[in-house]
């Protein structure tokens, strides 16, 4: 796969071709994902849940994230690498700049931060220094203790209008990409059409510019036996992990995944 850059992703959006993204935490899976044509690899703080067995993403440290980012970088063959800034690693602007720098030096090409319009200042400061930022909106799992659980966001009209306005504000602040988690499908489509930067969705329906899933979820593995409704098991009917990864890429590109049953209504 030729190196995927921000330019590649913007061109895919303009062409109307869907962007494929998966979480990835190690070199071997990074290599397998690249082989399958996955364009973006995310070192998600979901690693705290799927690798470490915690019940939230909050315990994940900068050291954990840097370690997995460096591992993914060694197996990568052309994908754009995005790393999640862990819980409280962006408590101040100084810490945001310092910690983002460490993840870029570990091998990330882009940093992802959870929030809304209040992220604007740090996104601008990072972009000035050469760090592209993905703003993760909607269900932001680091705020699970404020949100009262992993619940769909933006179902109320006022909250939906605010999310559209925040997305536009963050694009103007210099965000390179947006990610929407667990928002009604039509709202996610509206936001995707309102900005020029690529919008990736998880539990956000099929109208976004791309899709992401947690690797373990799409391979049919779970700790609890309980999986969110937006997850599809791509191992079903496949002979190998490599085939399952390829099936994911095919279904996202063909817009057969996500189907209506994987999304939420308003």
Ligand X SMILES: Nc1nc(=O)c2c([nH]1)NC[C@@H]1CN(c3ccc(C(=O)N[C@@H](CCC(=O)O)C(=O)O)cc3)CN21
Ligand Y SMILES: CC(C)C(=O)C(=O)O
Q: Is 229 in the site for ligand X (CB under 6 A)?
A: yes
Which of 181, 190, 251, 261 does the annotation list as catalytic? 181
Window 57-96: contact mask with Mg ion (x via CB under 5 A): ---------------------------x------------
Asked if 60 contacts 45 with a C-beta cutoff of 8 angstroms, the reply is: yes
Site for ligand X in 34-53 (CB under 6 A): 46, 49-50
Asked if 112 contacts 96 with a C-beta cutoff of 8 angstroms, the reply is: no
Angle, in degrees to the nearest 10, between helices 27-36 and 241-253: 50
Q: Is 129 exposed, middle or buried (0-12, 13-18, 19+ CB in 10 A)?
A: exposed
Pick from 26, 45, 171, 251 the residue near Mg ion by CB under 5 A: 45
For residue 59, the partner it binds in Mg ion, ligand Y, ligand X, none, with Cβ less than 5 to 8 A by kind, is none
Q: Is 196 in the site for ligand X (CB under 6 A)?
A: no
The DSSP code for 79 is P
Is position 181 annotated as part of the catalytic site? yes
**CB of residue 141 vs ligand X: minimum separation in angstroms?**
4
Helix and strand numbers (H, E) in the chain are 11, 8
User: What is the DSSP track for 64-75?
Assistant: HHHHHHHHHHHH
**Binding site residues, ligand Y, CB under 6 A:** 23, 42, 44-46, 84, 136, 179, 181, 202, 212, 214
- Residues with catalytic annotation? 181
């Amino acid at each position: 796969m030729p190196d995927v850059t921000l330019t590649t992703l913007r061109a895919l959006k303009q062409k109307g071709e869907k962007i494929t993204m998966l979480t990835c935490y190690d070199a071997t899976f990074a290599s397998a994902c690249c082989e399958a044509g996955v364009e973006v690899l995310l070192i998600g703080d979901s690693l705290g849940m799927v690798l470490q067995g915690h019940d939230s993403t909050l315990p994940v440290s900068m050291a954990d994230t840097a370690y997995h980012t460096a591992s993914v970088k060694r197996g990568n063959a052309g994908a754009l690498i995005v790393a999640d800034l862990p819980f409280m690693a962006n408590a101040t602007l100084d810490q945001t700049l310092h910690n983002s720098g460490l993840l870029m030096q570990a091998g990330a090409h882009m940093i992802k931060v959870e929030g809304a319009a209040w992220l604007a200042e740090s996104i601008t400061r990072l972009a000035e220094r050469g760090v592209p930022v993905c703003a993760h909106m909607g269900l932001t799992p680091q705020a699970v203790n404020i949100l009262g659980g992993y619940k769909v966001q933006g179902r109320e009209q006022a909250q939906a209008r605010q999310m559209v306005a925040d997305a536009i504000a963050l694009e103007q602040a210099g965000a390179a990409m947006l990610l929407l988690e667990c928002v009604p499908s039509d709202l996610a489509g509206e936001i995707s059409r309102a900005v020029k930067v690529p919008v990736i969705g998880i539990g956000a329906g099929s109208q976004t510019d791309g899709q992401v899933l947690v690797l373990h979820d799409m391979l049919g593995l779970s700790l609890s036996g309980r999986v969110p409704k937006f997850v599809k098991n791509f191992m079903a009917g496949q002979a190998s992990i490599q085939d399952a990864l390829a099936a994911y890429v095919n279904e996202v590109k063909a817009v057969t995944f996500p189907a209506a049953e994987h999304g939420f209504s308003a």
